[in-house]
Amino acid sequence: MSVLTSLPPAFPVDKVEAIVDSLYGLNGSFAPLDSERDQNFRLTEANGQSWVVKIANQAEDVQALDFQAALLRHVAELDPALPLPHLKPTLNGEILGRCTSAEGTPHFVRVVGWLPGKPFAKGHKSTALFASFGETLGRLTKALQGFGHPGAARDFDWDVAQAGKSRARLAYIDEPEQRDIVEYFLDRFDAHVAPRLKRCRAQVIHGDANDYNVLVDSATGEQIAGIIDYGDAIHSPLINELAVAAAYAIMDRDAPIDDAGTMAAAFHRANPLQAEEIDLLFDLIAARLVISVTMSASRKDRSKDNAYLSISEAPAWNLLKRLRAMDPIIATGLLRQACGFEAVAGAKAVIAWLQDNRRSFAPVLDQAPATMRKGLVPFGDKTHQIAIASAARRPLEAEKLWAEIMAKDGIDLGVGPWGEDRPVYTADAFASTLSTGQRRSLHLGLDLFLDAGANVRTPLPGKVVDIYVSDLPLDYGHAILLEHTPAPGITFCSLWGHLSAESAKAVKIGDEMKAGAVVGQMGPNTENGGWQPHVHLQLIAYRPEKAADVIGAGEPGYAKVWAELFPSPAAFADLPAETFTKAGRAADDLLKVRKEKLVRNLSISYKTPMKIVRGEGVHLIDDRGRAYLDCYNNVAQLGHANPEIVEVLARQAALLNTNTRYLHDNIIAYAEKLTATLPKNLTVAGFVCSGSEANDLALRLARNYTQAQGTVALDWAYHGHLSSLIEISPYKYKRKGGKGRPATTGEAMLPDAYRAPADWPKAEIAARYAASVTTAIDQLAQAGHKPAAFIAESLPSSAGQIVLPQGYLKAAYAAARKAGAVIIADEVQIGFGRVGSHMWAFDSHDAVPDIVTMGKPIGNGHPMAAMVTTREIADAFFNGMEYFNTFGGNPVSCAVGLKVLEILERDRLLANATRLGQSLIARMSKLMDRHDRIGDVRGQGLMLGIELVEDRMTKVPATDYAGRIVEKCRQLGVLLGTDGPHDNVIKMRPGMIFTDTNADFLMQVLETAFAEVA
């Protein structure tokens, strides 16, 4: 006979009084207490002290009772502050007394101390009380670690580890819906829980901390005052202790999983749980309820008169029904997060991988969303007519309203943000299953709005794992679920909702898709659940069983768990953060204050000034989240905000940044590395902060070495903004605000092969241009000056991307040297491999200067520059006057410079510049064949130019046309500039990390611009 099938004792009260008096010498008033299998009384003595008298079931084993006594003694020794009852020995000093019923049946008797307080079931259940409950259980289980007793090992139907036995009691459940619920949880227990539970930590646990076995202090109602009744103590998985307690504690609660999470978190603080244990908690709570309701059903006749058995039956069924409506993964995510774990294993790794690799993804649309003009569709504004129409299921009206906004604001792509709280989710299906009274209004995907029929593409390879079709209003309509495993240990899914019916027909489960493959098309409102056309793109950090299980909206109060279960797809879709949030002042305000607070000479690009807030790779991103392909800025040639550069800069800045009056490894290492890239005669470096400073220092060295003042420069050259450099920059002194050529400057002809005099034989162009250097030296002589230096860019940039004729530079250098001049190669704009074939452009002409200046790309955006010269010239400069530059050559700058050189070499970026440059020139030449106003296409590596003319015969500069082309390209998403003496040369200097995809987009934009601009 089992204690679960044997009826409880039924001693008359007067008989109990006599038994207790004889065994314990206690007397007073006796009040009966509810019990499933024992007969219990509260004994109150005349002095007010109370005891619990427990007459054990006749089937109770003495070993079990001894086990309970030993348990209480063990806990009292390890954590005496725990509110547990203590056993009173008999008058003979025994823990167990004995008595006999009128029928002659023997029973054991125990008297334990009465713990004050009221049952948890009858108290006000606050968050603090749930936390106290969890902490108390954590302490209790921690105290029981290592405790063992033969009585702990038993076969016991109330043990949650044995919940599978409840299947034998299914026949007692008459209601089909209830039976289905129980079967669902039993199936989950057998398939998913039982095998994993065997691998969990096990120990002795209380086993029945239900809401009537737990007492709450009467004074505050915020603390647990006692845990009583150890009759169900058993050796079982540790997590079952929490599961049993939570199963009863969270009954009839508005947000039961929240309360379970509060208990779990407090338990975890007192006795840390393992993630694998928390993963089972939701199902174990349900399993305990299944045991309870099936046990009650199997004892219907007895439970009618047994308050203990019947009191929790209705709440248990109610809670089971609520748990059945929940997604176990979501509920478990809440429990995991409550204990400090990620919502699902691997979620953070997925999020980090997406962020780290987002630059490599294929576009999610036919055009990369980052490069499109975007606007937020106002689903989150309950007062907006689009939100009102959508909530009322009037998609055509919403679609029309949005089309008007797009036309007015110049928007190409509508965006519905992840994490947006929306009033449009009005269907009954959006009622919360987790928290009574709440609604699922928080958008868990990313919406992209285009016309019906627009393609959507997977950024990564994926496999079709489910196809979902629904005609429910405001549902997904037609959806496709893909699984992605882009790297070892990284697996997640993407859901593509609101597609066309044809999209669902065009694929089948098991299909493999390559990156960039079309997933489907955006569906019309008649096929997409009743919405204006868009795709709902949602990421899932786990593998759902089917697409229908993926909720597209969640409760706002659970945003933290949604962020891990359903990460933002912004990186997956390559949408800049600025698409969703704006910071700082409006562009118009900035422009106004700029005019007031900054020198007016600062120029600003484009007719409509752009507010650029961030750079990333080859893109600049404006304050509306549009990424522009930057083909103009030749400074960040390794990419804007290059993470390696940023890291080394921050690391060194955190250690030391000071001047060159102290010894430091970085400046020496950088000088060695930099000079190793130059001809053997160029061995001595000087470090400054800008290209202008580098050229000024070069002039000082040249003038000191030659003791002359004259300088020969090329016409339309630009060498910097310092006074000394304005004087040798025709690009400045010949334009508005300039004072004309100084007597100390001689102008050599700009060696522009395209605009060479028509009567010059092609073979003589280089020599004839070089001869003008001698003419310029004569010009100086006539003014009474000797030439100190001949300075020239090795590929004049500001003069119009001029590729020097082969033979010119060598001849020009020779002519200048013959006159005693020092040769300065200005590589500030063109150096560091931009020409592709060589690190330095002068090397491509087999010419060797005496001084090289460099800047701009030297630090990839960090303000640094350098000058390198020969030992002889450097020694001459050592004349007693100190040369000092506060910031030039500082440890941070040199660390950055070293990293730039490392990346250039490691990533073979010179070869990339050569290959892409040749390809682009070939493609631009074909463009020239179709557009007569393109007079010349020229360049070397990734230093490119297109010269525009009104007529190819007259070569009249098409200045206005060039400006309109550049402006059109900006509108289309590519940043270019114009330069040259007449601002008619489209100037292109894309980053060295430019890719084929970038080149394709550049050419696509150029094709469109030349086709559309008159």
Give the tens place of pLDDT for each residue, 314-362. Answer: 999 999 999 999 999 999 999 999 999 999 999 999 999 999 999 899 9
- Total-model pTM: 0.86
Segment 622-626 mean pLDDT: 94
pLDDT at 308: 52
Q: How large a percentage of the chain has pLDDT more than 90?
A: 91
Confidence check: pLDDT of 420 > 60? yes
d(CA 26, CA 97): 13
Concatenated DSSP letters of 77-103: HH-TTS----EEP-TTS-SSEEEE-TT
pLDDT at 174: 92
pLDDT at 426: 83
pLDDT at 302: 56
Confidence check: pLDDT of 999 > 60? yes
Confidence check: pLDDT of 490 > 80? yes
Strands (E), 184-289: 202-205, 214-216, 224-227, 234-237
Confidence check: pLDDT of 309 > 80? no
* Confidence label for 25 from pLDDT (cuts 50, 70 and 90): very high
Confidence check: pLDDT of 307 > 70? no
Q: In 57-160, which residue ranges form alpha helices assigned H by DSSP?
A: 62-78, 127-143
Query: Are the beta carbons of 166 and 199 closer than 8 angstroms?
Result: no
Confidence check: pLDDT of 398 > 80? yes
Lowest mean pLDDT among 62-71, 457-466, 650-659, 935-944: 62-71
Segment 283-288 mean pLDDT: 98
Identity of the residue numbered 79: D
pLDDT at 306: 54
- Please say whether the dihedral angle defined by the alpha carbons of residues 116, 117, 120 and 122, taken in this order, is positive or negative: positive
Segment 67-92 mean pLDDT: 94
More confident residue, 312 or 148: 148
d(CA 30, CA 22): 15
> What are residue 934's phi and psi, to 5 degrees?
-85, 110
Residue 54 vs residues 8, 82, 560: alpha-carbon distances, Å: 11, 22, 48
End-to-end CA distance of the chain: 100
Which has the closest alpha carbon to 313: 323, 300, 331, 301? 300
* Confidence label for 300 from pLDDT (cuts 50, 70 and 90): confident
pLDDT at 301: 62
Concatenated DSSP letters of 615-651: EEBTEEEETTSPEEEE-S--S-TT-BT-HHHHHHHHH
Q: Report CA 762 to chain centroid distance, whole Å.
A: 58
pLDDT at 685: 97
Which has the closest alpha carbon to 288: 233, 228, 210? 210
* Confidence label for 305 from pLDDT (cuts 50, 70 and 90): low
Confidence check: pLDDT of 196 > 80? yes
Confidence check: pLDDT of 427 > 90? no
Give the tokens for residue 880: 């007693």
State the chain's mean pLDDT as an integer. 95
Q: How large a percentage of the chain has pLDDT more than 70?
A: 98
Segment 606-627 mean pLDDT: 94
Give the tens place of pLDDT for each residue, 240-276. Answer: 999 999 999 999 999 999 999 999 999 999 999 999 9
CB burial of 136-165 (b: ≥16 within 10 Å; e: otherwise) equals bbbbbbbbbeebebebbeeebbbbbbbbee
Confidence check: pLDDT of 3 > 70? no
Q: Burial level of 887, CB count in 10 A (0-12/13-18/19+)? A: middle
Angle at the Cα of 867 from the Cα atoms of 861 and 873, rounded to 5 degrees: 175
pLDDT at 438: 94
Radius of gyration (C-alpha) of the chain in whole angstroms? 41
Give the tokens for residue 234: 């058993």
Confidence check: pLDDT of 666 > 80? yes
pLDDT at 391: 86
CB burial of 649-687 (b: ≥16 within 10 Å; e: otherwise) equals beebeeeeeeebeeebebbeebbebbbebbbeebbbbbb
Segment 819-841 mean pLDDT: 97
pLDDT at 696: 97
Residue 150 vs residues 98, 161, 235, 239: alpha-carbon distances, Å: 22, 18, 10, 21
Confidence check: pLDDT of 110 > 80? yes
pLDDT at 480: 97
* Confidence label for 471 from pLDDT (cuts 50, 70 and 90): confident
CB burial of 524-545 (b: ≥16 within 10 Å; e: otherwise) equals bbebbbbbbbbbbbbbbbbebe
pLDDT at 523: 96
d(CA 400, CA 380): 18
* Confidence label for 55 from pLDDT (cuts 50, 70 and 90): very high
> What are residue 972's phi and psi, to 5 degrees?
-90, -5
* Confidence label for 61 from pLDDT (cuts 50, 70 and 90): confident
pLDDT at 867: 98
pLDDT at 789: 98
Count of H-run helices and E-run strands, the chain? 30, 38
d(CA 753, CA 804): 8
* Confidence label for 428 from pLDDT (cuts 50, 70 and 90): confident
Identity of the residue numbered 68: Q
